[in-house]
Structure 1
Amino acid sequence: MRAIGIKGDQGPADSLFIDEIPEPTISSGEVLVKIHAFGLNRMDLSQREGKYPVPAGAPKTLGVEFSGVIEKTHGGASEIDSFKVGDEVFGLAYGGAYAEKIAVSAQMLIHKPAKMSFEEAAGIPEAWITATQALFLVGCFKKGDRVLLHAGASAVSLAAIQLAKTAGAAEIYVTASSQEKIDFCVELGATAGFNYKTQDFGDEILKVTDGKGVDLIVDYIVGQGYLEKDVKCAAFDCRVVLLALLGGVKTQEPIDVASILRKRVRIEGTTLRSRSLEYQKALRDRLVQEAMPKFEEDGYKLFVEKVFSWKDIIQAHKLMESNQTKGKIICIVD
């Protein structure tokens, strides 16, 4: 089958090409899905550059989220009973989505609503499951919390804005690189936003909260002064959830440990791809039970920045690298 490969196994976007690889085989509890579309994620860029540790046993082919049609099933898991050949589905995998077909556990599949396009469905799994993990499983969100979401126009934060609003957040703040992105987030439901290029979001958060700070922070950046400012604007018993290292692994200034102790700030890093199937399935189940009904009712919105043919995968990766997007970049397997 065809799949996106990387010349030399790692490199810049220009090293991507359509390769020929063996079709995956399925084992007990798995299904084979003919992929219609797949979503791009930041981890794909890091993996392409050789900077992302791929989980043991995962395919080296990029991509973790996809939509398509079940082509083959293999018994052995109770979940398989609800899926059959010909079903339109979307799901999350440990890798291998940049391809014509993928072998994936039936436990990580979701039936695609008829009203939802394959392109929209392909952009749900990673963003919405990650947002659910960050807010509820790790961040211990509770009704009335004040929330700060960095990279406000990213797919994860756009999902988190909606999830937090539905769950009863008192205030939702975002950071972004432009007023256009901030306005976009506010229109979706954020209380306010701050341009991290021109404003000290730590000081601004303290101003708008009358010095109280925020109760939950979801941070993808860490470096470039972010973690220091997170601590500055953290409320008492604040939870800071670290999801990625887009701004680097080192802080610009020393961390104020005294503030961490005094305010009882909890800082916790987490990942999703390295988690067990059982852990991921629990998040998948929550998505099905709580979010999918609202997608059906148009209560939640999906944002696709641009749809590419996978033949233009180089351009798709370069667009993601530009940091100019709002929502998902999707590729169609044609």
Structure 2
Amino acid sequence: MKANVITAHGPAAEVFALQQVGDLVPTPNDLILKVLTTSVNPLDCRIRSKASVPRNFPLTLGFDVCGMVVEKGRDVTGFEIGDRVIGSPTPFRNGANAEYVAIDYRSCARAGRLADEAGAAIPLVGITAYEALFDRLRARRGDWVVIHAGAGGVGHLAIQLAKNAGCKVITTASRRESLEYCTHELGADHVLNYRETDIAAAIMDITDGQGAGLIMDNAGTECFARCLDYAAHSGHICTILPVAVDEQQGYRLLLKNITLSYQFMGGVGSTGDQVNRQGQVLQKLVEMAERGQLRPHVSKIYDWHDLAHAHEEMERGHVTGKLVVRITN
């Protein structure tokens, strides 16, 4: 089969190559999917650009998929040949920038009435948002939740999930289009321009001086550091980035009794733990999308031969929603 692989870590324009790679053999829990669509996530760019963990090349990225079942392992239940399904291939195996991909069936859901493009826009960011909000932060009706980077891939679904759960949402953005999208399309209660607003002062004002009890950090680095300025006493910060806490920050967390948690949905792929949970979450997201309660935003569709350009656009920042990639055979 063909795959658009990376041959080394480095700039997108230099490392992608369309190559013939070995055919896939399913493990007992695998579905082999003919890939219809996939997407580009910041995770793809991080893996491509540097070696955070050892990798073997050529490496196939692409950690979302909408595809057709063409083969299945002996222990697979609930899926049949010809089913159209969506899922998020683990980043610890080869991904969906290829004609076919292998994925654990327990992490998949039927695509239902979703278009191929919408199907590929949901899995990684949708599961990340859901688990961060409800498994880590345990957000409930009436809670104030700060969701950073509200127009981004994770953020735009997180706002919708939080609002559907009855939460009140404060979000951040900077571009005019992003501010308007978060306000008028996503329905966030407060949309703050982080380039022009003192975020800490604004959130303290909105919360009557109590600070934010629940914070979802989708930006990392300086954004995470500033969360400590307006987190409520006994609050909870969940980050989806590999942020580091120095001694001073740790002391501030301690004094305010703040819980810090990390959300990396790809982690279950390395241990096999809670894979069923991800399939269940994804099925909920599909059902919500079919009812119109969840609207994944596809800002642009690329052909898989243009993956390098898609990565470059992602790295320039300010992508609204998702960049989807159509696999053409």
- Common fold: TM-score over 0.5: yes
Shift of 1:280: 3.4
Aligned with 2:221: secondary structure?
coil
The answer for the alignment partner of 1:273 in structure 2 is 266
The TM-score with structure 2 as length reference comes to: 0.91
1:213 aligns with 2:211: yes
Q: TM-score, normalised by structure 1?
A: 0.89
Gaps of 5+ in 1: none
Identity %: 27
Match of 1:198 in 2: 196
Deviations 1:66-121 (A, max 9, x none): 01111112221xxx33211111111111142111101111112211113x211110
Following superposition, the deviation at residue 157 of structure 1 comes to 1.0
TM superposition shift of 1:216: 0.8
Q: Is residue 68–residue 84 contact of structure 2 (8 Å, CA) maintained in 1? A: yes
Deviations 1:13-64 (A, max 9, x none): 1021212211211121212100011011111001101244379x99931121
Distance 1:34 1:87, change over 3 A: same
Q: For the structure 1 residues 46 and 173, does the alpha-carbon distance in structure 2 shift closer, same or farther, using more than 3 Å as the test?
A: same
* Structure with more contact order per residue of length (Cα contacts < 8 Å, sep ≥ 6): 2
Distance 1:282 1:105, change over 3 A: same
Give distance in 2, aligned partners of 1:185 and 1:52: 33
Of residues 77, 84, 88 in structure 1, which corresponds to 2:80?
Answer: 84
Deviation string 1:161-209 (CA, Å, 9 cap, x unpaired) is 111111111x201111323212211221211122222222112111222
For 2:201 and 2:251, locate their aligned partners in 1 and report how far apart those are by CA, in whole Å.
18
Alignment of 1:203-282 (within 5 A): 203-224=201-222, 226-245=223-242, 249=244, 254-255=248-249, 257-258=251-252, 260-275=253-268, 276-282=271-277
Query: Tell me, what secondary structure is at the counterpart of 2:274?
Result: helix
Cα shift at 1:324: 2.5
Asked if 1:61 is matched to 2:60, the reply is yes
Q: Structure 1's 109 and 256: CA in aligned 2 closer, same or farther, altered over 3 A? A: closer
**2:10 counterpart residue number:** 11
3-state SS in 2 of match to 1:152: coil
- Cα distance in 2 between the residues matched to 1:293 and 1:279: 21
SS at match of 1:19: strand
SS across alignment from 1:122 = helix
Structure 1 segments of 4 or more deviating over 6 A?
Answer: none
User: What residue number does 1:152 align with?
Assistant: 150
Distance 1:228 1:105, change over 3 A: closer
Partner of 1:28: 28
Q: Quote the RMSD (CA, aligned, Å).
A: 2.2
State the number of aligned residues.
Answer: 321
Alpha-carbon separation, structure 1, partners of 2:277 and 2:160: 20
Q: Quote how far apart the aligned CAs of 1:249 are.
A: 4.9
The offset of 1:250, in angstroms, is: 7.3
1:302 positional shift: 1.3
CA distance in structure 1 between the partners assigned to 2:115 and 2:298 by the alignment? 11
Helix, strand or coil at the partner of 1:160? helix
Contact kept, 8 Å, 1:2 with 1:18, in 2: the verdict is yes
